[in-house]
Amino acid sequence: MNHDEWMSEGAAILGLLLVAFGYWWGDAGSAAIISLNIMRDAWETIQQVIADLMDEAPNVLDRHQLEDLPQRVREAVKRYDWVAEAAVRLREHGHLITGDIFVVPREHTDLPARVERVAQELATVDWRLHSLTVMPVATLDQTTPAHPG
């Protein structure tokens, strides 16, 4: 924002100076530069807002590069001795990340307590993890993601 403000103010000052030295088109030229800068900034903001509305896959903050967080969460789930298989599906909501974790348990004793504990512990993998649902399933099929992430 500060960069855009300085660019707009610099263009306005340049336009006024050009008018002061007799170049009548200086004011219109600086207005055109300022309006193009505003439209560029608006386009970038619209792209970011649309991406946030679409619940995109988690990205590295301030970059368009996918985060390795789904793989890290999947590896953390697979470390539990009672989990045979796991799949992770995460979605980004601004800076917060929510998601579903599908686990195929090895055994069924005390499963509700284990699932609750896993959800709490996995939320500590990354500060952006906000709401995770751990879902015990019989198998990982087409309804759950086959790859990590």
- For 119-144, the pLDDT digits (tens) are 888 888 888 887 788 888 878 775 55
Q: How far apart are the first and last CA of the chain?
A: 33
- What is the token pair recorded at 43? 């386009």
CA gap 110, 60 in Å, rounded: 37
Residue 127: exposed, middle, or buried by beta-carbon count in 10 A (0-12, 13-18, 19+)?
exposed
Distance CA 36, CA 80 (A): 55
Q: What does the alpha-carbon distance between residue 61 and residue 10 come to, in Å, rounded to a whole number?
A: 30
Question: What average pLDDT does the structure give for the chain?
Answer: 80
- Phi first, then psi: give them for residue 96, nearest 5 degrees: -95, 150
Residue entry with tokens 């284990």? 114
**Average confidence (pLDDT) over 90-108:** 79
Q: How confident is the model at residue 1 (pLDDT cuts 50, 70, 90)?
A: low
Strand 96-105 and strand 83-93: the pairing is antiparallel
Average confidence (pLDDT) over 19-29: 87
* C-alpha–C-alpha distance, residues 23 and 21, integer Å: 6
In this prediction, residues 107-123 reach a mean pLDDT of 80
The model's pTM is 0.51
Check pLDDT > 80 for residue 64.
no
Q: Classify residue 38 by its DSSP letter.
A: H
Q: Which pLDDT does position 109 carry in this prediction?
A: 62
Higher-pLDDT residue of 103, 63: 103
The secondary structure of residue 65, as a DSSP letter, is S
Q: Is the pLDDT of residue 81 over 90?
A: no
- Residue scoring higher pLDDT (129 or 62): 129
Q: Which of 93, 96, 70, 73 is nearest to 83 (CA)?
A: 73
Q: What is the average per-residue pLDDT within 15-42?
A: 88
Q: Please, are residues 104 and 84 in contact by the beta-carbon 8 Å criterion?
A: yes
Share of the chain above pLDDT 90, in %: 3
